Chains A and B, each alone.
Chain A
Amino acid sequence: GNWARVAAQQSLTQDKLLEFDTFGNVSLIHVTDIHAQLKPIYFREPSVNIGVGGNKGAVPHVTGADFRKLYGIDDGSPSAYALSHSDFSSLAQAYGRVGGLDRVSTVINSIRAARPDALLLDGGDTWHGSYTCHQTAGQDMVNVMNALKPDAMTFHWEFTLGSERVNEIVEGLPFAALGQNIFDAEWDEPTELFPPYKFFESGGVKVAVIGQAFPYMPIANPGWMFPEYSFGIRDERMQEMVDEVRAQGAELVVCLSHNGFDVDKQMAGIVTGIDVILSGHTHDALPEPVLVGETIIVASGSNGKFVSRVDLDVRNGRMMGFRHKLIPIFSDVITPDPEVAQLIDDQRAPYMDALSEVIGQTADDQTLYRRGNFNGTWDDLICDALISERDADIALSPGVRWGPSILPGQDITREDIWNVTSMSYGEAYRTEMTGEFLHVVLEDVADNLFNPDPYYQQGGDMVRVGGLGYRIDVTKPQGSRITEMTLLKTGEIIDPSKTYQVAGWASVNEGTEGPKIWDVVEAHIAKQGTISLDPNNSVKVVGA
């Protein structure tokens, strides 16, 4: 209720959120994986985030009460709300929405007031994820981010705008577009458009920022949309670039990465000489950097919910110490930057009628969220929509990690639906698959998530399923993790040789046909009116 909200927010002030004892001589500001969220949203962190192999039980694979215990966070506190999933809907009522790039701007301005030459670095997944971003092919985000004056950026979902559009935007970008692993696919050579690194003078220190784009772009996303480019981890070249910038006098080497956290950890153990990795892609929010050798790895969450500030003391070409803060963007507490707020409203103005149309509501005990290794409630709703609107036995929905949450009793607008579905390949296909092929699909995705070697992990979550149950043993090798596949509507075991009607979306295959997923979901929600989902117990997880 209102009293709880007032009480909770009394303990929070902008000054307290931004409080920071400026340290050393260099400041880095990291934002990443904003997924086009210009406005404040709710975002529930995952309750299930399984680590495998050497990362079992290691951050960021710690959630809920274990996470709060690890970092000494009190139950019900602002940090508990921002960083863990427990009591999400009630804490969300109390603490309000998070994010909003006008609030992010205020935070950046305050850091720049203390440290005018602080570097603002954007980890990518910026020009994707909303209605307006889709309608403007990323232009709304480009306009607003440009106003925040970043110094450099790297990339992932941006490439799903298609290489022609990406090239067009990047050519006009007033800051560095970095990617040491972005190669010309035809000749296997570095590109001119995406240089590997850029030097900055900051606090009298020569800082080199090396970009690392998402390595698995043509696998996780449709490669046919950007056939001119090749990616990969390319850690040998990363080492060459580190050595090259050191030879040119870099005193601080920063890697602006979209590898995903476990890949960054592994790379930090292989490549020597990186001082700071600003990690993106896996959407983890960590209150402290993780140390690997002499490299610190910073993870700054997603959807505009956090800004990381890292102050560094660099002397005689060495990082002597750091101070770090993961700043949660409590939107009711941080005053919006009025200029950026206006700019955001300008981007949205032509689309306000479409954005604000109410399609349905959540029931008063129903939260919609996505994050987590297996089905989230948003995905359950999307799968229900696919099964009913496309008349299928089974639904598949991609295990992406973006998409804000909806609280109980909240209106669901068209904008909300697009926030969890919009993409440039949103066709909702309907096809026949054999039981054997379904098994192959689940095993394939499971190995992209649970392969014990982080270099094989693509950083998404398990494909979401509707109408289908299964058992997964995350410790097994590919081909034997998934068993007990069951068709839920009959309770029958899936027959490898039998054919099933499957509906899904976000196929990476060229030429996929079907209505757009946001229209499918909208039609379903409109028919339901009030959304109330049955608890999903269809996935049995073993070995976590």
Chain B
Amino acid sequence: TGTLAFATLAGLPAFASLTDDAIAAMTGGAEVTEGGIDLTAPEIAENGNTVPVEVSAAGAVEISLFATGNPTPAVATFKFGPLAGSRSGSTRIRLAKTQDVVAIAKMEDGSFRKASATVKVTIGGCGG
């Protein structure tokens, strides 16, 4: 008795499908495979307002980043020009809470690649 049933945070499934929608808009519904793309993000954000993320996919024409737990998942799209030294880029992003960050690369052959990373955003405030 007495167990508290806390409601799961409303909106989570909706956010997830928003990300799916955004990815579908990029891929036109084409198949997205894992591998061939690296996404680096901290396990724990030092500050949810500025989370460093780095993405890299050899042979990518463009790479988009999505924050699946934000009210609006789109974050940024890197399009690589003829003088790009590599198909990689880093930026700093806002994460409203603990969530998966997803990177989708559009490859030169028209295929799509996907990587994701979970970033924990914590309230914090204790220490030894």
Asked if A and B form a direct contact in the complex, defined as CB atoms under 8 angstroms apart, the reply is: yes
| A interface residues with partner B (beta carbon < 8 Å) | 33, 125, 156-157, 188, 214, 216-221, 223, 230-232, 260, 281-283, 302, 398-402, 435-436, 439-441, 444-445, 447-449, 455-456, 458-461, 463, 483-486, 493-494, 496, 506-508
B42 near A484 with CB under 8 A, answer no
Q: Which of B31-58 contact A (CB under 8 A)?
A: 42-47, 52
B125 near A493 with CB under 8 A, answer no
B124 near A216 with CB under 8 A, answer yes
Residues of the B chain whose Cβ atoms lie less than 8 Å from the Cβ of A398: 125-127
Interface size on B, residues (CB 8 A): 20
Interface of A is mostly: loop
Given A220-B127, A461-B126, A463-B126, the answer on whether A496 and B42 have CB atoms closer than 8 Å is: no
Q: How long is the Cα–Cα vector from A508 to B46 in the complex, in angstroms?
A: 12
Chain B 106-128, CB-CB to A under 8 Å as 1, else 0, gives 00000000000000101111111
Residues of the B chain whose Cβ atoms lie less than 8 Å from the Cβ of A447: 122
Determine how close the nearest CB of chain A comes to the CB of B5; give it in whole angstroms.
8
Given A444-B122, A458-B126, A507-B125, the answer on whether A223 and B47 have CB atoms closer than 8 Å is: yes
A400 near B126 with CB under 8 A, answer yes
B42 near A232 with CB under 8 A, answer yes
Determine how close the nearest CB of chain A comes to the CB of B28; give it in whole angstroms.
35
Q: How long is the Cα–Cα vector from A12 to B10 in the complex, in angstroms?
A: 63
Interface contacts beyond A231-B46, A445-B126: sample of 16 additional A-B pairs, CB < 8 Å, sorted by A: A156-B127, A188-B52, A220-B125, A221-B127, A232-B46, A260-B128, A281-B127, A398-B127, A400-B126, A441-B123, A448-B122, A455-B43, A461-B126, A463-B125, A494-B4, A496-B7
Chain B 5-47, CB-CB to A under 8 Å as 1, else 0, gives 0110000000000000000000000000000000000111111
Q: How long is the Cα–Cα vector from A447 to B52 in the complex, in angstroms?
A: 22
Given A444-B122, A494-B4, the answer on whether A402 and B128 have CB atoms closer than 8 Å is: yes
Given A483-B4, A484-B3, A496-B4, the answer on whether A456 and B126 have CB atoms closer than 8 Å is: no
Given A232-B46, A456-B43, the answer on whether A439 and B4 have CB atoms closer than 8 Å is: yes
Does any Cβ of A come within 8 Å of B2's Cβ? Answer: yes
Q: How long is the Cα–Cα vector from A444 to B52 in the complex, in angstroms?
A: 22
List 12 contacting pairs A-B, 8 Å CB cutoff, sorted by A: A216-B127, A220-B127, A221-B125, A221-B127, A281-B127, A399-B126, A400-B127, A401-B127, A448-B126, A459-B127, A484-B3, A486-B2
Residues of the A chain whose Cβ atoms lie less than 8 Å from the Cβ of B45: 219
Q: How long is the Cα–Cα vector from A230 to B120 in the complex, in angstroms?
A: 16
Residues of the B chain whose Cβ atoms lie less than 8 Å from the Cβ of A402: 128
Q: How long is the Cα–Cα vector from A470 to B124 in the complex, in angstroms?
A: 20
Q: Which of B3, B47, B126 contacts A218 (CB 8 A)?
A: B47
Q: How long is the Cα–Cα vector from A156 to B2 in the complex, in angstroms?
A: 40
Q: How long is the Cα–Cα vector from A444 to B125 in the complex, in angstroms?
A: 10
Determine how close the nearest CB of chain B comes to the CB of A356; give it in whole angstroms.
29
Chain A CB within 10 Å, residue with most, of B43, B44, B52: B44
A219 near B44 with CB under 8 A, answer yes
Given A188-B52, A218-B46, the answer on whether A493 and B126 have CB atoms closer than 8 Å is: no
Interface of B is mostly: loop
Give 6 nearest A-B pairs by CB, closest first.
Answer: A460-B126, A219-B124, A220-B127, A401-B128, A218-B46, A459-B128
A220 near B44 with CB under 8 A, answer no
Q: Which of B74-128 contact A (CB under 8 A)?
A: 120, 122-128
Determine how close the nearest CB of chain A comes to the CB of B15; give it in whole angstroms.
17
Residues of the B chain whose Cβ atoms lie less than 8 Å from the Cβ of A157: 127
Determine how close the nearest CB of chain B comes to the CB of A402; give it in whole angstroms.
7
Chain A CB within 10 Å, residue with most, of B6, B46, B125, B128: B128
Residues of the A chain whose Cβ atoms lie less than 8 Å from the Cβ of B122: 219, 444, 447-448
Residues of the B chain whose Cβ atoms lie less than 8 Å from the Cβ of A463: 125-126
Q: How long is the Cα–Cα vector from A430 to B68 in the complex, in angstroms?
A: 34
Q: How long is the Cα–Cα vector from A203 to B23 in the complex, in angstroms?
A: 62
Q: Which of B2, B43, B124 contacts A448 (CB 8 A)?
A: B124
Determine how close the nearest CB of chain B comes to the CB of A493; give it in whole angstroms.
5
A460 near B128 with CB under 8 A, answer yes
B4 near A485 with CB under 8 A, answer yes
B128 near A283 with CB under 8 A, answer yes
Q: How long is the Cα–Cα vector from A14 to B84 in the complex, in angstroms?
A: 68
Given A188-B52, A219-B44, A219-B122, the answer on whether A460 and B127 have CB atoms closer than 8 Å is: yes
Q: Which of B2, B46, B123 contacts A484 (CB 8 A)?
A: B2
A220 near B126 with CB under 8 A, answer yes
Residues of the B chain whose Cβ atoms lie less than 8 Å from the Cβ of A459: 127-128
In chain A, what residue has the closest Cβ to B8? A479
Residues of the B chain whose Cβ atoms lie less than 8 Å from the Cβ of A455: 43
Given A448-B122, A483-B3, A486-B2, the answer on whether A223 and B46 have CB atoms closer than 8 Å is: yes
Q: How long is the Cα–Cα vector from A402 to B126 in the complex, in angstroms?
A: 11
Determine how close the nearest CB of chain B comes to the CB of A372; give it in whole angstroms.
13
Residues of the B chain whose Cβ atoms lie less than 8 Å from the Cβ of A485: 4
Q: Which of B7, B52, B127 contacts A458 (CB 8 A)?
A: B127
Residues of the B chain whose Cβ atoms lie less than 8 Å from the Cβ of A439: 4, 6
